[in-house]
Amino acid sequence: MDLVDKVCVITGASSGIGKSLAIKLSLKGAKVVLAARRNSKLEEIRNAIEREGGNCFGVKTDITKNLECKNLIDETINRYKKIDILILAAGVSMWSPFEEISDISFFEDLMATNYTGAVHCVHAALPSLISTNGMIVSCSTAQAIVGFTNHSGYAASKHALHGFLDTLEMELNGKVKFLETCLGWIKGTNMRSNAFGPNGKKMGKTKREHSSNSIDLDVCIEKIISAIVDEKEKIYIPWKLKLIPFLDLFFGKFLRKKINKAVYSE
């Protein structure tokens, strides 16, 4: 895929993976549409992209609201007449054993952002994506494949998204391309500080430091963009995550012990 003049809609564009993808894709000639909840952040990123000669604009969007997702897509079509790539980068996590959670209402927020919000965006963008034989890129996780200690609600929401997109790919039968990026822990994002703790509040800055299992944000972004260009269907970052389906099938108990150890090392 040649990225020049491709129209890319990116959710969660105000920080982390979404922000970095927006900047890097614009530098490669794509027309980028930024979707996030805060106008101030959208303006900041838009200015940064335009200073580098990029082509973009932002649409204030809360993806948990269906009408705002429809507006995002309508604004994109009005400006650029098409959508080539929809990147589902918005996401929120958690970090707590289930039995220690005092208020489980944040599970609704996890599902609304990680699953339902993605469904809203895909439903609105699908006609245009079909017309361009475009691509849906999901910023997924190993936790969409298998359960993860201390991440029960997050894993459930990512399982839901995986099942939805897998089914949609079967139904569309090549009308739209799909890329699932299965990511491990990524350094340089605010995913961990924004994660819900046992009291239902965001964890903020903690003593948890990324271990050697984590991948630098820039490395992650380059791999995702290369996968888009090469029109791959699935990538694992880091590569060793591709062992999870095999280990889960044949060595399930061993895999779960490794997961526990990895989580607590973080």
Catalytic residues: 154
- Please classify residue 85 by burial: count the beta carbons closer than 10 Å to its beta carbon, then call 0-12 exposed, 13-18 middle and 19+ buried: buried
Distance CA 233, CA 248 (A): 21
Measured CA to CA, the distance from residue 138 to residue 18 in angstroms comes to 11
Name residues whose C-beta falls within 8 Å of residue 193's C-beta, 6 or more positions apart in sequence.
202, 203, 204, 205, 206
Structure tokens at 138: 């999901």
Chain centroid, CA 232 distance in Å: 16
d(CA 106, CA 195): 10
Cα dihedral 178/49/195/72 (nearest 10):
-60
Report the distance separating Cα 104 and Cα 159, nearest Å.
Answer: 18
CB 90 within 8 A of CB 61: no
